[in-house]
Amino acid sequence: MSVKLSAFLLFFSVLVVSSCQQEIVKKDSPAKLPPKKEVSSTTSLDSDSIINCIARTIITNRNAKDKLTAFGDTNRETKIVIYTTLGGMTLKLYTNTPLHRANFVMLAKKKFYDNTLFYRIIDNFMIQGGNSDDAEIMNKLNEIGGYRIPNEIKVNNIHKKGALAMAVPTEEQNLGKKSSSINFYLVEGQKLPSYYFKQKEEQGKKYTEYQKKVYQKSGGTPHLDGDYTVFGELVSGFETLSKISKVKVDKYNWPIKKVVIDSIRAY
């Protein structure tokens, strides 16, 4: 193998591993990943694996928009069902967030989430899935590619109870707010009184009348609005969402008893 090819393969392996690393974010964010069995920064791929990876048509940051758009044009499902060990949840995906819709449908069709976990759960806040300490996640990512989804944050797509959104990696939170390709969360939240919004507005925060009405009536997590792309919402299975949000967790918010996502399907 030539020196140039060796150097290229080494450089590419660093990019592949880096793009697939678990994202660790600030404590009060819904994007924090489990602290257990973290992927080593020294992980590498052998030359054959890298060559095979190059040969495949994988998704990258450069082509993510085009590939997801193309997939979405021929895969128009907007209904998602999440089957878990604690019950099922049915969601509708928004058409005004086409890249996120296409990405989630694609992962569902590839059975990416089958036998994964809701690995981070905070009562009255959210439940998060899409990753775990299972090495199989890395294998699945290597087949799909390492990429971020351009943000599709919309004013009226808010973090109400049952909202479906994608986590945002640390490095993106102060930049383009691009979403993780796999880490999603469902909002549990809680109802908020009118004085909550009055206090926040006195501090300079602005809310629409729609936000105030929804958060007071149904609940949610308004402090996340504007920072994460909400691309769907729960239409049934709220009892399952609440049941999962109430499970006992350890100090890392990791469920003491596994909450398994048996499968996620698009219809």
Domain spans, the chain: 3-266
Sign of the four-CA dihedral 141, 144, 146, 149 = negative
Separation between Cα atoms, residue 73 and residue 16, nearest integer Å: 27
Contact 234, 89 (CB under 8 A): yes
Separation between Cα atoms, residue 30 and residue 136, nearest integer Å: 22
Taking only the tens place, the pLDDT of each residue in 106-138 is: 999 999 999 999 999 999 999 999 976 677 888
Least-confidence region, from 38-42, 100-104, 156-160? 38-42
Taking only the tens place, the pLDDT of each residue in 175-211 is: 899 999 999 999 999 999 999 999 999 999 999 999 9
- pLDDT value at residue 141: 87
The structure tokens listed for 86 are 């604690």
Least-confidence region, from 22-26, 226-230, 253-257? 22-26
Given pLDDT bands bounded at 50, 70 and 90, which one contains residue 77?
very high
How much is the average pLDDT of 89-98? 98
Give the phi and the psi of residue 208 in degrees, each rounded to 5: -80, 165
Q: Which residue has the tokens 């909400």?
A: 230
The structure tokens listed for 199 are 């206090």
Residues in the chain: 267
Contact 170, 180 (CB under 8 A): no
Given pLDDT bands bounded at 50, 70 and 90, which one contains residue 11?
very low
DSSP string, 30-61: TTPPP-TTPPPTT----HHHHHHHHHS----T
Separation between Cα atoms, residue 83 and residue 265, nearest integer Å: 8
Q: Give the largest CA-CA distance in the chain.
A: 68
Taking only the tens place, the pLDDT of each residue in 12-55 is: 444 444 444 343 344 456 755 555 444 333 344 455 555 444 44
Distance of CA 27 to the CA centre of its chain: 16
| pLDDT reading at 98 higher than 60 | yes
- pLDDT value at residue 140: 86
Domain spanning 3-266: CATH 2.40.100.10 = yes
How much is the average pLDDT of 151-157? 97
**At 235, which amino acid appears?**
V
